[in-house]
Amino acid sequence: MKLYNNEMANSPRKVRMFMAEKNISDIEIINIDLMSGEHKTPEYRAIAPNSRIPALELDDGTVIMESTAICRYLESLYPKPNLFGENPIEIASIEMWQARIYNELMIPLAMAFRHLHPGMSEMEIQNKEYGETQKTIGIKSLKYFDAALAEAVQALGRDRLFFSVVSVWNGAAISALESNTPGNGPRAAPVQCADQPRASYEARKPEARSESSDDQ
């Protein structure tokens, strides 16, 4: 199998962290350069017609798009440890948190990145006022979900089930916020969280970042 990836993008990072949680190491990682437009080349569009990443190409040529769909496929191939829940309440709770975080956190942060980051000016018709509004919403949501997910994990008593959600979305959210920091160029170093997602999440929680990063 081949995973078409970009080190800077949030959705592929979600898949890489999911793979790290399951110790999956037998999938070839192929990096796609978004800034050079490699994702819009005929070669890549033959794999992913919508030019998006990540994309998982199976050995028979089948291509699976969308990060959650890819993770669900990998969950079926590598069932241990279970990251999507083992009973109705776990399954529903994980699905609920992922949907809420995507809609209330990741979309605002993505819009802020697109409309505020200098490196995106050639790819987007930027609206600075809209970007600042979305950034404010994203930062507020990040603080809320950091606390809310901590309580949810304690309530269920199953850290391994919710850690996937916590580490993936907080890591992605923090990355997006840092990418918007003035002075960071479009090729700012990606968050190195895929190899050790648990340790990385703890180190990069908002309270830890206040002393060691250019927080916003």
Q: Answer yes or no: same fold for 2-77 and 88-209.
A: no
Helix (H) or strand (E) run with residue 13 in it: helix 10-21
Higher-confidence residue of 139 and 216: namely: 139
Residue 106 contacts residue 169 (beta carbons within 8 Å) = yes
**DSSP type of residue 55:** E
pLDDT band at 192 (very low <50, low <70, confident <90, very high): very low
Q: Which CATH class name applies to 88-209? A: mainly alpha
Q: Which CATH class is domain 2-77?
A: alpha beta
Give the integer Cα–Cα distance in Å for 173 and 157: 24
Radius of gyration from C-alpha coordinates of the chain: 17
The pLDDT score that the predictor gives to residue 206 is 36
Task: Give 51-94 pLDDT, tens digit per residue.
Answer: 999 999 999 999 999 998 999 999 999 999 888 888 898 888 88
- Predicted local confidence at residue 165, as pLDDT: 57
Q: What value, to the nearest 5°, has the Cα angle with vertex 67 and ends 62 and 72?
A: 75
Q: Where are the domains of the chain?
A: 2-77, 88-209
pLDDT tops 70 at residue 195:
no
Coil, helix or strand at residue 214: coil
Please list, residue by residue across 77-97, b when 16 or more beta carbons sit within 10 angstroms of its beta carbon and e when fewer do.
ebeeebbbbeeeebeebbeeb
CA-CA distance, 5 to 44, in Å (whole number)?
Answer: 12
SS3 210: coil
Rounded Cα–Cα distance for residues 160 and 172 (Å): 19
Residue 207 reports pLDDT greater than 60: no
